[in-house]
Every structure is written in C-alpha cells, then in structure tokens.
Amino acid sequence: MKNSTRHFPKLILAIIGIVALSFVSAYAAEELMHVDADGKNQVASLRKGTALNNENLNPAPLQDEQNKDLRFNRAYPMQPPPIPHKITGYQIDLKANKCMSCHARTRVEESQAPMISVTHFMDRDGNFLADVSARRYFCTQCHVPQVERDPLIENTFKDVHHLIVQPNEHEE
C-alpha cells in the first residue's frame, strides 16, 4: 500500500498534464479551422480555399521569375543550387532536357554555365555512369527558379552558419 501512495502525486500531475494538453490541442485545432462560403468547416491553409484534392495539372506559369544569372547563397550544406535564370518553356521530360544544352559536360565551355555536379553521374550504388543518372535527370525535382515575392508567412529560418556557436576570438 505504501508504494501506491508514493506514486499518487505523480499520477495526479500526469492526469492534469493530459487534460491541459487536450485543451491546448482542441484550441489549436479550432484555430486551424475556418468556415467557407457554404458554411462548411474547412482547414485553414495557404491554398486559400483551393480544395486539397484539386489537382491542377496546368498550373499558372511563375510570374516575375528572376533572371539575374547570379549565384544565390545556399542556406545549408548540400542544398541544391537554386536556378538563377528563367526556365519558362524549357522542355524537361522523357524526350528532352533543355537544361543539358548549357549544363552538360560537353557544353559548359561554349555556354560558360556551371557543369552539373559529378554526383549526377552516379547510380544509387555509387558507380559512375557515362551519362546523367536517370534519378538525377529531372532537374526541377531539386533545383527551383526564384521569384520576387513577399513571404506568405513569417520566415524564422536561420542559416546553419548562424546556428553554429562561434568561439570568442578574445578568449585564450
């Protein structure tokens, strides 16, 4: 009997914590909901009323694509470089890859574009291939063009460089 009474305060605290968490979760769920024009509860999102199951197979082209041809800073190691130029109208499919007309190994001298990384010539087992690996062929899976836009939500992202604690230069 003595052991069960010893754990009683911990049990009470656990129950209070679970109840409090339930209230917080319910409040958060309520905040994410809004009522649409038809009076139905909908989950709030950046899609602004577009149904989640609406698959637009012909999205509108990007507006105000940057075309500066300047390299962007990368926020973390191994981040794929963003595309610094317009790619509207580029054919990137099973038949052709317009990116390779400048970024292929055999075209960089003429185009003065950076060559694609040697990792794009490796298969999943680390073997080097004569041509671009099929899993790296569709450039826009990782590399994206940039546009001039105000952020939809506050961005609190911190570059990895700012997360690493720098030693004080004056300490000995």
Predicted local confidence at residue 31, as pLDDT = 60
Paired tokens of 27 = 């409040």
Paired tokens of 55 = 């698959």
| Greater model confidence, 4 or 109 | 109
CATH of 62-172, one of 1.10.1130.10, 3.40.630.10, 1.10.10.10, 3.40.50.720: 1.10.1130.10
Select from 92, 142, 67 the least CA-distant residue to 101: 92
* Overall size of the chain counted in residues: 172
Q: Distances from the Cα of 109 to the Cαs of 82, 100, 106, 163, in angstroms? A: 21, 13, 7, 38
| Greater model confidence, 17 or 29 | 17
Percentage of the chain beyond pLDDT 70 is 74
pLDDT digits 0-9 by tens, 122-149: 999 999 999 999 999 999 999 998 888 8
| Greater model confidence, 18 or 22 | 18
pLDDT digits 0-9 by tens, 81-105: 999 898 989 999 999 999 999 999 9
Residue boundaries of the structural domains of the chain: 2-43, 62-172
pLDDT band at residue 49 using 50, 70 and 90 as cut-offs: low
Reported in sequence order, the residue ranges of the chain that DSSP labels E, i.e. its strands, are 33-35, 41-43
pTM over 0.85: no
DSSP structure class, residue 170: T
